[in-house]
Amino acid sequence: MHNTEFAYYNYLAKYETNILKKWYFLHESKLLKKYESIIANKANLIAVSEQDVVVYKKNLTQKI
């Protein structure tokens, strides 16, 4: 099972006011999205929530 960590970090960046933290969250979000995309193409995933299914189908090539 997996949840969409890259989306969580992107959300944190969206509402962060500290510029360094915002940069960190955006950077981590990009790295996580790249990593999750690689993993999604190598393994079957079971999403934690329906929202995660929507995010994965929209942002990654994995079919859940």
Does the structure show a pLDDT above 60 at 2? no
Backbone angles phi, psi at 13, to 5 degrees: -65, -40
Predicted local distance difference test score (pLDDT) of residue 8: 92
* Strand locations in the chain (E): none
What secondary structure letter does DSSP report for 20?
Answer: H
Whether the per-residue pLDDT at 13 is higher than 80: the answer is yes
pLDDT of residue 64: 46
Residues in the chain: 64
Domain ranges of the chain: 5-59
Q: What is the pLDDT of residues 28-56, one digit of tens each?
A: 999 998 888 887 777 676 677 787 777 77
